[in-house]
Structure 1
């Protein structure tokens, strides 16, 4: 008799769980594909590319100047004194450091500009995803981009109950 009660309880819990799961609506979207197709994102990428080309031109000028001086100093190194060679060596090191710093600053500036331009586009896309999902009664939206995750979670969150169960 006790086994029958246990079996009935397990069956009721199983059916209840299956019913609850059947009520949950899940959708998905490939956010990367959405962003790639966005005209606003294409315009943002064009702006970043134009800025990158500007930095590339300046970088190439700096490198050309460095190479020209290096060739000149190497050619003259045998005919000038050690003090001049040492000064020139330090000058070349400083110039190399300036080129490296320029490259680092340009990379950071490009990254910052890309984030600045992409952030409002991403926020607008996220708002649209939420609106469409809620209009369709979808509780969870998964990002089907490789490595994506949950975008919207309107279903029950078990975090508080699990923390309580674990004692924290």
Structure 2
């Protein structure tokens, strides 16, 4: 009898919690789409492309200089001593290393700039999502972007347009 009462209490408690959970409002939003359409993201993309073009132009200039030097040294190589040719080969290797270092620096600077500039954009989007969820009484907001773990999102409320309006675009 004691086990029956315990079992009955557990069943009532479980059913009661299930009803409370079902009463909570959920929604979803495609954060990838939201972030891609934010003006700040578009401005960041343009800024990064401009920075990359600048770096790329510098690196291409270094490469053209190296190429010209290599052709010159190759043409003069037969008339030079082994020591001079060895020194020139070492110089070519150093120039190649400088180009590789410049490319690495470019990649690091681009990644640093991206990380630095995306943090406030992500925060702004998150704040807008939280504000819309609060206004609508939504307890859970799930990310419906592909690969974010949400598989079915037909029944929840899509707050994309409300967040977009909150952000002003």
Question: What is the TM-score of this pair, normalised by structure 2?
Answer: 0.80
Runs of 5+ consecutive residues of structure 2 not aligned to the other structure:
151-169
> What does residue 141 of structure 1 align with?
141
Runs of 4+ in 1 over 4 A off after TM superposition: 1-4
Alpha-carbon separation, structure 2, partners of 1:76 and 1:105: 33
Which residue is equivalent to 1:19?
A: 19
Aligned to 2:43: 43
Query: Equivalent residue for 1:155?
Result: none
Q: Report the alpha carbon displacement of residue 31 of structure 1 after superposing the two structures with TM.
A: 0.8
Which whole-Å CA distance do the structure 1 matches of 2:140 and 2:13 have between them?
Answer: 23
Q: Work out the CA distance in 2 between the residues paired with 1:17 and 1:72.
A: 81
Paired with 1:119 and 1:5, the residues of 2 have a C-alpha distance of: 54
Report deviation, 1:23.
2.6
2:110 aligned partner: 110
Partners of 1:15 and 1:33 lie apart in 2 by 38
How far residue 6 of structure 1 moved from its aligned partner, in angstroms, is 4.7
Deviations 1:102-155 (A, max 9, x none): 1111111111122222221111111111111111111222222233379xxxxx
Root-mean-square deviation (CA), in Å? Answer: 1.9
* CA distance in structure 2 between the aligned counterparts of 1:112 and 1:120, rounded to whole angstroms: 14
- What is the CA distance between 1:43 and its match in structure 2? 1.1
